[in-house]
Amino acid sequence: MIRLHDTLARKKREFVPADPKRIAMYVCGPTVYGRAHIGNARPAVVFDTLARLIRHHYGEDALVYARNVTDVDDKIIAAAEKEGVDPSVITERYERHYLDDMGALGVRPPTIAPHATQEIAPMIAMMARLIEQGHAYSAEGHVLFSVPSDPDYGILSKRDRDAMIAGARVEVAPYKRDPADFVLWKPSVEGVIGWDSPWGRGRPGWHLECSAMIERHLGETIDIHGGGLDLIFPHHENEIAQSRCAHRGAPLARYWVHNGFVDMGAEKMSKSLGNIVTPAELLEQGHRGETLRLALLSAHYRQPLPWTDTLVAQAKATLDRLYRAAGDAEPGEVNGSVLDALRDDLNTPLALSRLSALDGGALRGSANLLGLLQSSSDQWFQGEGDAGAVDARIAQRAEAKVNRDFATADRIRDELKAEGIVLEDGPNGTTWRRE
Ligand SMILES: [Zn+2]
C-alpha cells in the first residue's frame, strides 16, 4: 500500500486509485520562456520518482501521467517582443531545453504533454459552461470567474477572503464584480497572440488551461494532482473552483501532492529573485545528471531543500560508493525495506539510507526504482555514463553558434576534445564519439 500526504486533507492517506488499471496523475509543467532552474527541476524529479513507484506497484501501463506545457503567457509574449521573434520561437526553444535538461536528470517524458495553444477549443467550451451556470461572466473583452458564486472557494489553501485577495495580488479592475474574481480569458491587442472567442479575440489565463486540459485528457476527477507548494494558492485553488463548478461539484483530484522549495541561503530559488542555479550550468561544470537527481531526492519532497555545493559533492560521493557496491551486477528484485520507505509518502531520504546497506543486484535493482545507478559501474567511473553532460554542452555550443558566438562554440569543442570526445557536425545536428 502506498501512502501519500494529501494537502487537501492535511494528512497522509492510503492511496486508493479509482481504477487501479488506469491511474490518472497531472502535474503542472513549465512555462517555456527561459531555462529551467534547479527549483523547477524538483517537481519534475519528484513526480518522475512517484510515477516510477506507481508503475512498479500497479504495472507499467497502469499510470497515465500528464504534464502540461504553458506555451502562451505574458512572460513568453514579453520575451518574444524583446527578441523580435514569434512566440513559438521562444516556446519551442525552451521546451526543447526543458526536455534535454530533465532528460539529463533521468526524468522520463510524461505519457501526455498537452500544450495550451493546442487546447483553446476545450477552454472556450469550459468558459461557456461556467457562464451558463452563473460561475463566470464576460466584461470588456475579459471572462472572469465569479469567486462569490462558489461557496467552497478556498478549501485547498484554507485562507480567509482578505488573505486570498492579498495573496493573489489580484488587480482591482473596473470590469470585476468582486475583487477576488480571477481572469479566465483576456483580450489580445492587434499583433499579440490570440484566438477568436465568443467574447472577442484573446488568450486564456493560466489557471483555466490546466482545468480544461485535465478534463479533455484525463476526465473530471483524477487520482493525483501535483506541483510545487507555491501553486497551492492561487493556481490550484482556482483550478479546483473552475473544474468543480464546471462539473456539477465533482472533485478535481482525489489526492493533492505538493513539493517544497529549493532554497538558496535563506530564500527560495526563483527567477524573480535572480538567485537561480540551472541544471544546464551544473552539467556544464561537469556534474552528472544522476548526481543532481540524487541531490534533489536527498531531502523528503515536502521539506525545503537547501541547495549548496556541499550537497552536490555529497551526492557525488554517495553515487561513487553505490556504484562500487553494485559492481557489474545486473538489476535484481527491489529490496523490501527500500520499497517500504518509498511507499510511505515517498520517503526518499530513508530509501537512500537503506540503499547504502545493500550491494550487488539488490542494490542496482532498488536504485533503478529511484532512477539511480542507470549506468554500468565501469561507465560511471570512466565518465562514459555522462552522456547527458556531453549532450548539454553540445546544446550550449549549438546555441552559441545560433548567437554567432563562435569563440564560445570553438572553446566547447576544444574542451570536449581535451576530454577525448570528438564532435561530428551533420545535417541532423551534432553527434559525438570517444576518440
Ligand atoms: Zn496547473
- pLDDT (tens digit, 9 = 90+) per residue, 308-334? 999 999 999 999 999 999 999 999 999
pLDDT of residue 206: 93
SS3 302: coil
222 CA distance to ligand 1 centroid (A)?
A: 13
Question: Please, which pLDDT band fits residue 124 given cuts at 50, 70 and 90?
Answer: very high
SS3 290: helix
76 CA distance to ligand 1 centroid (A)?
A: 17
- pLDDT (tens digit, 9 = 90+) per residue, 241-294? 999 999 999 999 999 999 999 998 878 888 888 889 999 999 988 899 999 999
**Is 385's pLDDT higher than 60?**
no
How far is residue 261's CA from residue 300's CA, in Å, rounded to a whole number? 11
**Is 28's pLDDT higher than 70?**
yes
Interior/surface letters 363-373, b for 16+ CB within 10 angstroms, e for the rest: bbbbbbbbbbb
How far is residue 273's CA from residue 87's CA, in Å, rounded to a whole number? 24
Lowest mean pLDDT among 71-85, 87-101, 409-423: 409-423
Torsion-angle region of 248 (φ positive above 0: left; ψ -120 to 50: alpha; else: beta): left
Lowest mean pLDDT among 12-26, 108-122, 419-433: 419-433
Which has more pLDDT, 282 or 403?
A: 282
**Is 23's pLDDT higher than 90?**
yes
Please name the residues in contact with 129: beta carbons below 8 A apart, sequence gap of 6 or more: 246
227 CA distance to ligand 1 centroid (A)?
A: 8
Question: Please, which pLDDT band fits residue 424 given cuts at 50, 70 and 90?
Answer: confident
**Is 413's pLDDT higher than 50?**
yes
Lowest mean pLDDT among 266-270, 380-384, 415-419: 380-384
pLDDT mean over 147-155: 94
31 CA distance to ligand 1 centroid (A)?
A: 10
- Percentage, residues of the chain above pLDDT 90: 79
Which has more pLDDT, 428 or 75?
A: 75
121 CA distance to ligand 1 centroid (A)?
A: 18
**Is 350's pLDDT higher than 90?**
yes
**Is 386's pLDDT higher than 80?**
no
pLDDT mean over 95-102: 95
428 CA distance to ligand 1 centroid (A)?
A: 35
Give kind and range of the element (H or E) at residue 306: strand 305-306
Q: Could you write out the DSSP letters of every residue in 146-171?
A: -GGG-TTTTTTT---HHHHHHHHTPP
How far is residue 114's CA from residue 43's CA, in Å, rounded to a whole number? 17
pTM score over 0.75: yes
Which of 365, 360, 315 lies closest to 336, judged by CA? 365
Question: Please, which pLDDT band fits residue 305 given cuts at 50, 70 and 90?
Answer: very high
Lowest mean pLDDT among 80-84, 116-120, 430-434: 430-434
28 CA distance to ligand 1 centroid (A)?
A: 4
pLDDT mean over 347-358: 98
156 CA distance to ligand 1 centroid (A)?
A: 14
Which of 85, 144, 86, 88 lies closest to 115, judged by CA? 88
- Percentage, residues of the chain above pLDDT 70: 97
Which of 155, 150, 152, 118 lies closest to 134, judged by CA? 150
How far is residue 257's CA from residue 59's CA, in Å, rounded to a whole number? 21
- pLDDT (tens digit, 9 = 90+) per residue, 157-210? 998 777 777 766 666 788 999 989 999 999 999 999 999 999 999 999 999 999
364 CA distance to ligand 1 centroid (A)?
A: 35
Question: Please, which pLDDT band fits residue 342 given cuts at 50, 70 and 90?
Answer: very high
Residue 193 grid cell: 497572440
Which of 15, 242, 248 lies closest to 145, judged by CA? 242
- pLDDT (tens digit, 9 = 90+) per residue, 209-228? 999 999 999 999 999 999 99
118 CA distance to ligand 1 centroid (A)?
A: 16
